[in-house]
């Protein structure tokens, strides 16, 4: 039996003409020699593979909320009911699409019709806010930042 000190594992090795080959790997805790309760090598490999896979999947969009998750701490455009638009940094969101935006610019567009000439008069009003909480049922769409590959 041999001890791999870096991993805290006990293993039995088989000498072959091509070199040393491991026959089996057991956790030292399973054999009762290490109170540290360390994992077997195979489990560590699968954990590492899951971690690497998770890193790759951080940028993949599988469902709509993934797109919002990828837009955290980035500038987004939010369209609301009542001809309101918000541009700001997305700080937080939840499953109901309630969002918290920072450094927000609100744009309110009103359209009035002149009684005499029947022309449309479009008024645009803008205001700045440091932080803003927006209830999810008033949101029509959230536009993430443009990403180039």
| More confidently predicted of 67 and 148 | 67
Closest to 105 (Cα-Cα) out of 76, 83, 81: 76
pTM of the predicted model, to two decimals?
Answer: 0.58
Q: Of the segments 23-32, 52-61, 109-118, which one has the largest average pLDDT value?
A: 109-118
Spatial distance between the Cα atoms of 28 and 26, rounded to a whole number of angstroms:
6
N-to-C CA span, the chain: 51
pLDDT digits (tens, 9 = 90+) for 63-115: 888 889 989 999 999 999 999 999 999 999 999 999 999 999 999 999 999 88
| More confidently predicted of 37 and 133 | 133
Helix (H, G, I), strand (E, B) or coil at 139: strand
3-state SS string for 51-107: HHHHHHHCCCCCCHHHHHHHCCCCEEEEEECCCEEEEEEEEEECCCCCEEEEEEEEE
pLDDT score recorded for residue 34: 46
């Amino acid at each position: 039996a041999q001890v791999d000190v870096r991993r805290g594992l006990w293993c039995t090795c088989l000498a072959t003409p091509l070199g040393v080959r491991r026959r089996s790997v057991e956790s030292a805790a399973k054999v009762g020699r290490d109170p540290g309760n360390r994992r077997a090598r195979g489990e560590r490999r699968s954990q590492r593979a899951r971690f690497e896979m998770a890193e790759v999947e951080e940028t993949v969009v599988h469902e709509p909320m993934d797109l919002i998750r990828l837009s955290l701490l980035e500038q987004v455009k939010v369209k609301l009911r009542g001809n309101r638009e918000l541009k700001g940094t997305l700080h937080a969101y939840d499953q109901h699409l309630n969002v918290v935006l920072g450094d927000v610019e609100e744009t309110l567009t009103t359209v009035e019709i002149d009684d005499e000439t029947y022309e449309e008069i479009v008024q645009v009003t803008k205001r700045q806010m440091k932080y803003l909480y927006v209830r999810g049922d008033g949101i029509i769409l959230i536009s993430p930042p443009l990403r180039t590959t």
